[in-house]
Amino acid sequence: MSAVPEPCLLLSFEDARHLVEHHAATQHPRGKELVELLDGAAAGAGQVLAEPVFADRNFPPFPRAMRDGYAVRASDLSQLPVTLEVVGEVKAGAAKRDIPVLQASQAASIMTGAPAPPGADAVVMVEYTTRQGDRVQITKAVAAGDNIVPAGSEAKRGERLLSPGLRLDYRAVAVAASAGKSRLLVYRKPQVAILATGDEVVDIDVPPRATQIRNSNSYSLAAQVQAAGGEPLLLSIAPDKPARLRELIAYGLEADLLLLAGGVSMGRYDLVEQILEEFRAEFFFTSVRIQPGKPAVFGRVPSGAGAPAREQVESTSAHTYFFGLPGNPVSTMVTFELFARPVIEALAGVAPRKLVLLNASLKSEIKTKTGLKRFLPAILSGEFEHAEVELAAWQGSGDVAAMVRANCYIVIPPDREQIAAGERVPVLLM
């Protein structure tokens, strides 16, 4: 068995993240499928559009009234008040033959969403009008174009409305529905194998002995994988023994991505990196200057290396990537979000995006040690423009109970020992 990779590849957070983004950019989804509009956008499904959607007509298809009132010619309103002849009423959905053509000094009663009549160039809101029989008095001027959305001004027929790589949500669904697309081509979800390791870890339906720990990581990771657009595949728990660990890693490497949890620290039974080396793994980092999550590992093995004895599965990629995430549950969660998520999104077909932190005002002073970039569970509160944040009470990286009290991380740069109350601090939402 070979030793832990040399040299120890310790990176800054930013370098590690950039490296992951670089490799993610080389990854592609594994296929496409047709789904019903709502199935593709169902909460939690988060499927990713694999085809462009074009406007099949002008948006809007006709000059559309934005207000209830009177369609007029703006030039008729130069002297106020003015009285115009009402020559008809235009309802939303009115047939073309029922729409009057407006001549000088004429107006047509019109409703929001109705087509503006030919000859009209503006709509006066009903609030500025008084109707008497077939006449209407108008007390407010309008400019040409007021309260009418010109045909094709939102999008021209044939224009691209949605691009591949967009995750389907309520906005995309509205656009697809407007263009008459009841089914959409989406990318197949990548399969992400999840392997929890540790002699002390037992599955959740087994009564744990006093010193055993229930496997929460496989489940939290599975939920995170789903949220990122992947299909989780939970493997059996691997003990800290080479033979079985090797077997399960081989199996996991047949998926589109392998996530390991635990067994990547410096302990005597942290075997994950050694076993991965046997699969000719290339390591991009084996440690990152962050807390929690310092022992995080990222690398890849040549395709097929995971299944030497098995039937070779058809592979669309030369490598299978893996992450070795530290086993402390909070570390597992944080390092997934910071590093594994972009790779899963790339495999799911999502257009790449950068990690962006927001700012909030710190409620109470933070004292910490320098050297690591910290992502500390925190509580964002306040209201409207006044976002405030404070650290959540927690007992360190094993404290999953603290994570549900938190709703974000405060991000502390590695060179800060003390941050005063009132200072604006970067925040990463959960």
Interface contacts to ligand AMP, rule CB under 6 A: 196, 198, 200-201, 213, 215-218, 261-263, 265, 267, 326-329, 398
Q: Which does 427 bind (CB under 5 to 8 A by kind): Mg ion, ligand AMP, none?
A: none
- ∠ CA 284-289-293, nearest 5°, is 85
User: Residue 262 CB, nearest distance to ligand AMP (Å)?
Assistant: 3
Write down the least CB distance from residue 219 to ligand AMP, Å.
8
Residue nearest to Mg ion (CB): 198
Q: Are 234 and 207 in contact (CB under 8 A)?
A: no
In this structure, are residues 408 and 389 in contact, taking their beta carbons and an 8 Å threshold? yes
**DSSP conformation class of 119:** T
Name the minimum Å distance from CB 270 to Mg ion: 6
Closest CA to 252 of 266, 237, 267: 237
Determine contact, residues 327/263, Cβ cutoff 8 Å. Answer: yes
CA–chain centroid gap for 207, Å, is 37
Q: Cβ of residue 201: shortest distance to Mg ion, in angstroms?
A: 8
Q: CA-based angle 311:314:316, to the nearest 5? A: 150
Which one among 262, 293, 306, 324 touches Mg ion, defined by CB under 5 A? Answer: 262
C-alpha to C-alpha distance for 160 and 284, rounded to whole angstroms: 39
Q: Which amino acid is at 34?
A: L
270 versus 345: smaller Cβ distance to Mg ion? 270
Q: Restricting to residues 325-384, which ones interact with Mg ion according to CB under 5 A? A: 327
Based on CB atoms, which residue is closest to ligand AMP, 205 or 314?
Answer: 205
Q: CB nearer to Mg ion: give 398 or 414.
A: 398
Size of residue set near Mg ion by CB under 5 A: 4
- H helix runs in 25-87, sequence order: 37-41
In the complex with Mg ion, the residue whose CB is nearer, 129 or 331, is 331
Instruction: Give the residue with the Cβ less far from ligand AMP, 252 or 329.
Output: 329
* Shortest Cβ 425–Mg ion spacing (Å): 33
Q: How far is the CB of 376 from Mg ion (least distance, A)?
A: 23
Q: Rounded to 5 degrees, what angle do the CA atoms 159, 164, 166 make?
A: 100
Choice between 50 and 196, CB closer to ligand AMP: 196
CA distances, 178 to each of 9, 161, 277 (Å) = 51, 10, 52
Give contact residues for Mg ion (rule: CB under 5 A): 198, 262-263, 327
